[in-house]
Amino acid sequence: MTRWIELDGAVNVRDMGGLVTTDGATIRTGLLLRSDNLQALTPADIDRLVTDIGVRHVIDLRSDTEVELEGPGPLTREPAVTIHHLSLFAEGGGLTDVDADTPRLDTDKILPWQDRQEEGHESERSVGHYLGYLTDVPGSVVSALRVMSQGSSIVHCAAGKDRTGVVIAFALHVLGVPRERVIADYTATGDRLEAILARLRSSDTYAQDLDSRPTDTHRPHAYTMEKFLTILDERHGGPIGWLEHHGWTDDDTIALRTALLA
């Protein structure tokens, strides 16, 4: 993996630039980044992202409660950067694993990997959560991809694994990146897992959950993304079929490919 971007305040940052599509195009460097939480970016980190790379849009997939507890992050103070808060949880919804309008801190209700059933393989439960994002807030996924057409973007959640992984997988599919490369990018987060978890354990928002489960239960496995994409194939004709069902158009596809591909 040569697309890692080394920062002091985030450990799971990488550039989608350089990935090649099935028709021979290449994602341009510096236009689509993915990351873990951006709360602790240093001034040097911000200069790297905003000045050197040219990031202009932050796609924040965290819940309202996470933003409230963790804070919006230092990039909100950058006039050149626009923050797009697009939670992948139905905030306060009765039929979701999130109840973000409760006044107390209940990490079982705000974290993407929590409140899981006891039965079943970890990967199977993750697939269920990924499908839940699409059921609860499909508009956030569509909107996130449309933001990517507007300029250099960085997508993040807490770990930069699950929610970010789903949105990036959709974007890469629309761009035409082969499925095996989409899956490889998803699992690459595992290379930084220890550092990611160490950062999250320093936060009261996430520490209790992380301390209660073995480290390997957080590892992204190829099977998880493969199963998720296969279900999209079977139920919706693939990621683009799902997007079209929720308002995505051919013009949207053209705009994203024109903005990001060379």
Residue 170 lies in a domain: yes
| Domain annotation covers residue 140 | yes
The span from the first CA to the last CA of the chain, in angstroms, equals 21
Give the pLDDT of residue 121. Answer: 62
In this structure, is residue 231 part of a structural domain? Answer: yes
Report the CATH number that the domain containing residue 250 is assigned in CATH.
3.90.190.10
Q: What is the pLDDT of residue 215?
A: 78
User: What tokens appear for 167 in the block?
Assistant: 């949105």
pLDDT tens digits for range 107-152: 344 454 455 444 456 667 889 999 999 999 999 999 999 999 999 9
Domain membership flag for residue 7? no
Domain of 49, in residue numbers: 14-260
Beta partners for 153?
A: 32, 57
Q: Residue 105: its pLDDT value, please? A: 34
Is 1 contained in some domain? no
pLDDT tens, 180-207?
Answer: 999 999 999 999 999 999 999 999 888 8
Instruction: Give the pLDDT of residue 178.
Output: 98
Q: Tell me, yes or no, whether 6 lies in a domain.
A: no
Q: Is residue 77 in a domain?
A: yes
d(CA 237, CA 231): 9
**How many separate domains does the chain show?**
1
Regions in the chain scoring below 50 on pLDDT: 93-110, 112-113, 116-119
pLDDT of res. 122: 64
